[in-house]
Amino acid sequence: METGKETLKQQAYRIIKNKILYCEYAPNEILNEELLLKDTGCSRAPIRDALSRLEQEHLLVIMPKKGIRIADVNLNDITSVFEMRCMVEPYVIRMYGECLDKEKLRKYRKRFESDITPERVMKAAKENRLLEMYTLDDEFHQYLIQSSPNPYMWLSMELIYNQNIRLRVLTSIDRGRLMKSNPEHTAIIDLLLEDRYEDAAEEMKNHLNKAKQGSFDALIKNGGWNQRGEKFPAEIM
């Protein structure tokens, strides 16, 4: 096999993981190998390898002789995700803020101002592309985490960010929250550029608490979800 080419194990893992993260496989849905064979185009061996990895990432549960259950997402998960984020992200800013590249921070600030505008968000909503608008948000938060020299922290936060994607999909991708988060991001960046790391950490904590409340409000408003697509917002289907 050519160097750099995606292996069958990698392909199966990528396809199944994306279907879970973007909720094509809904929380608590029961899957079987036949469906996965069809959806991935892979054989049983790479699928089973992928399922083992995804179970370790808490995205599914393998039930012997019964099938595969997609992990649930509920109010407790929202609490857990943001508890971790509120502990880790402000800490990283306090401890490693000075390691951040100020030129990169300026570029992020410029992108937040130019990419996340009312006009662009409205256009994305009409074209069912709102989820794409969160790419910059994810990239920025992950850049901050990666300023830490601790690889175990990266791995832990990758699991958290995976669940965060599912939360967004399942809570309707709030357009209003997206716009409100923009000045919050730029405020954090401005404080980092001024080397005010303690203030930036507090601003990050406030930002995450607002995001947490937004997730709670959206999930309660939507009434949760049951089966595949039943409760999903139309804009992401």
In the chain the beta strands, taken as DSSP E runs, fall at: 30-31, 60-63, 67-70
Alpha-carbon distance 100 to 145, whole Å? 10
| Between 33 and 236, residue with greater pLDDT | 33
Alpha-carbon distance 32 to 29, whole Å? 10
| Range from 55-64, 90-99, 114-123, 168-177 carrying the lowest mean pLDDT | 168-177
Alpha-carbon distance 102 to 92, whole Å? 16
DSSP element (H, E) containing 157: helix 151-170
Amino acid at the residue 78: I
The token pair at 6 is 């995606």
Confidence label for 222 from pLDDT (cuts 50, 70 and 90): low
Per-residue model confidence as pLDDT tens digits over 102-112? 999 999 999 99
- State yes or no: pLDDT of 154 exceeds 50: yes
- State yes or no: pLDDT of 210 exceeds 50: yes
- State yes or no: pLDDT of 23 exceeds 60: yes
Q: Phi/psi zone of residue 142: left (φ > 0), alpha (ψ -120 to 50 degrees), beta?
A: alpha
The residue written with tokens 């997206």 in the block is 178
For residue 17, the model assigns a pLDDT of 96
pTM across the whole model: 0.82
Confidence label for 218 from pLDDT (cuts 50, 70 and 90): confident
Q: Which of 115-124, 144-153, 174-183 has the highest mean pLDDT?
A: 144-153
For residue 220, the model assigns a pLDDT of 77
The residue written with tokens 């937004």 in the block is 214
Per-residue model confidence as pLDDT tens digits over 33-53? 999 999 999 999 999 999 999
- Secondary structure letter of residue 59 according to DSSP: S
The separation between CA 57 and the C-alpha centre of its own chain, rounded to angstroms, equals 13
For residue 232, the model assigns a pLDDT of 38
The token pair at 4 is 């750099």
Q: Strand 67-70 relative to strand 30-31: parallel, antiparallel, unpaired?
A: antiparallel
For the chain, give the mean pLDDT. Answer: 88
Count of C-beta atoms within a 10 Å radius of residue 160: 18
Length of the chain: 237
